[in-house]
Structures are given as C-alpha cells and as structure tokens.
Amino acid sequence: MERSSLLQLIQEQLDPENTGFIGVETFASLVHSHELPLDPAKLEMLVALAQSNDEGQICYQELVDLISSKRSSSFKRAIANGQRALPRDGLLDETGLGFYKRFVRYVAYEILPCEMDRRWYFYQHRTCPPPVFMAVVTLTQIIVFLCYGARLNKWVLQTYHPEYMKSPLVYHPGHRARAWRFLTYMFMHVGLEQLGFNALLQLMIGIPLEMVHGILRISFLYLAGVLAGSLTVSITDMRAPLVGGSGGVYALCSAHLANVVMNWAGMRCPYKLLRMVLALVCMSSEVGRAVWLRFSPPLPASGPQPSFMAHLAGAIVGISMGLTILRSYEENLQDQCSWWVVLLSYATFLVFAVFWNIFAYDLLGAQIPPPP
C-alpha cells in the first residue's frame, strides 16, 4: 500500500470529523487488522508519543511526520517523555542479523545517545546513498600523497622539498588571490604520519557520522572546518603556508567528543572513558607535532613551515557548529535558533577574513615569503 493511501485510510477511519487527533490504541488495531506496512519501531514510537498526551491521543500531523520519516523538535521531546515504557536494550537483543545490520547497530550505539534515536536510525537506515564523501576525500588524499611521494621520492617531511610548495593545491600566503587554495590544501600532507592520522580519524569517525547524519551535514561541517582553518592561518600566522586536512578532521572529532561528553550517561559505546582519553592524547600530540615543526624545523628550510592554527580553528568549528548539527539528529536545523546564531557567527568570520586578506597584509606591511 502506498504511503498516501495509508494516510488516507487513517484519516477516513480514525478521524472522520477532522478533529486533528487520533487514538493510538484504535490506530494499533487498524495496523494489525489491515496488515499495514509500518515498522515495529514506529508503532512503539506512537505508543510512547501517546503516553505523553493526557488523553492517549496523537496529533494527526505528528502521525504523518512519523510515517514520512520526518521529526520536529516537539515530536522528539514527546517521544523522549514517553520512552519510559519502552525496553532500553531492544536493539542489543536483536538476533539473526547479517554483518551489515550488525555494523549499523554498532554505528547507532557509537554515535547516538538516545535509545529511541538508535532504534529510529536502525530501522530507518538505508544503504543508498552510501557514505561516499569521507571515503572519496580520504581516497583522494591518499592518491595525491602517493603521486607527490613518487615524484619527489620523499615520504616524510615533504614540505622541506623545494618542489613541494610549487603545488597548485598548497595554501601559500603569496597566492591568496588563488581562492581555491583555501580549500584544496586539505589534499596535501606533510608526510605519511600526518596522512595516516587524518585518514584513520576520517574513516573511524567521519564515516559513522556521515552514515547517521547524512552526507550534506557532515560534508558541510568538514569543509567549514577546512575553510576556517586556512582563513584563521591567514589572520593569525600570516607568513605560514598550510597543508593537510586537519581543520576538517578536528571539526568532526571535536564535535563528536563534545557530543559524547554532553550526553555521557546516554552514550552506550564501550570503554568510552578510555577512548575519550586516548583520543584527546592523540589529538593533542598531533597539535604538538605541528607546533614543533612550525617553530623548530628539524631540517633546513627555504621558508616558514606549515601552520598549526588550522587544528585549533577546526576544533572551534566542531564545538560550535558541529555540536549543533550532531545534537539535531533527524531534526530541521532551520527551525532552531541556535543554528542560525552559529551560522551567522561563521558568516561574520568569513566576511572579516575576506576583508583581512584583501587589505590587512598591505596595511600592516606583512613580510610574507615570496611565492614559489
């Protein structure tokens, strides 16, 4: 039965007077008597939703939103209020699952802090579209690194090779007019160690986040971190070039870690404290390595080494914009005031950074290294 036919049947039999409300027990009887194609998780959500109403009814529009796989903030709050009657370990008790469905369940418990959200994701998840953004970005970074490694015959500390900075992908303060470099620097890396660290986090954290929150939101967050990284370097470290996808990586990781901390009790991922400490140690070590290479280069260099400020800028984007995105699973961002505040703040920063790059270098007499 088509979704429109299902909704028409519901309205004709359960709300003929167009009151706008439907008794959930009557609806459940209709589902079983007509064998309607409604997921068990959705029926449980309807029961939970009705429990939040004193008269055991649900709004017809909320029912439409549920069947159409759309959720508003009010819908989510009602579900949260009614979920006390639902078994908390339902997904963990599922048996006979294939490998991919077990992986989907693993992702649900890794990313989402609420049992109802985990159930919703598990039953609503579709393999199409697949999480291609993080996979394509990571694969492109690996291919670019292999090409430059073979060309330069150098696999670590590539930025010390005189030909490396001539790449059209690297951000260099002398080439600020080539606007694409503010993004394409994410495909270049200092060496195998930086590429390995970024690629590992992109695959371990980025792909699960993209599976849950979708390609549009996660790609936007990643690219916002990348762009904020290069623009921050152009303001705070004006003489330094920049390579690596750390701005986007730190945006994803910081958003995820902040979401875990703020929903600590609800997160069911195993060894979360140990993993949190390990992640913070690794991320801090990577920042420390970048600071060391910037100010104490181990090899003679013809100019300043890549800046570390992109890491910090990405982390700020993740804690602000990223946390807002991750806390809005299956909700409309445009309906939230906090999203517009974050977006306006980011847009203000972009405008300021553009004017800074146009005027500040000449006004301040910045001594930037000659472009390669």
Q: Indicate if 311 belongs to the active site.
A: yes
Q: Indicate if 72 belongs to the active site.
A: no
Q: How far apart are CA 57 and CA 50, in angstroms?
A: 5
Q: How far apart are CA 372 and CA 18, in angstroms?
A: 72
Whether the upstream peptide bond of residue 162 has omega within 30° of 0, thus cis, is no
Q: Which of 189, 213, 256, 311 is catalytic?
A: 311
Q: Which of 246, 254, 307, 320 is catalytic?
A: 246
Angle at 61 between CA 82 and CA 55, to 5 degrees: 45
Tell the residue number behind the tokens 């696999």, with chain if given.
155
Neighbours of 241 (CB within 10 A): 28
The two three-digit tokens of residue 188, written as one number: 């270049």
Q: How far apart are CA 89 and CA 121, in angstroms?
A: 15
The two three-digit tokens of residue 246, written as one number: 């750390």
Q: How far apart are CA 257 and CA 176, in angstroms?
A: 33
**Which ranges constitute the DSSP H helices of the chain?**
3-14, 24-34, 40-51, 60-67, 73-82, 99-111, 115-124, 132-152, 181-184, 192-201, 207-213, 215-236, 246-262, 272-295, 309-317, 323-326, 337-355, 361-364
Give CA separation, 264 vs 29, 169, 180, 256, 273, in Å. 38, 40, 39, 12, 9
Catalytic residue IDs: 246, 311
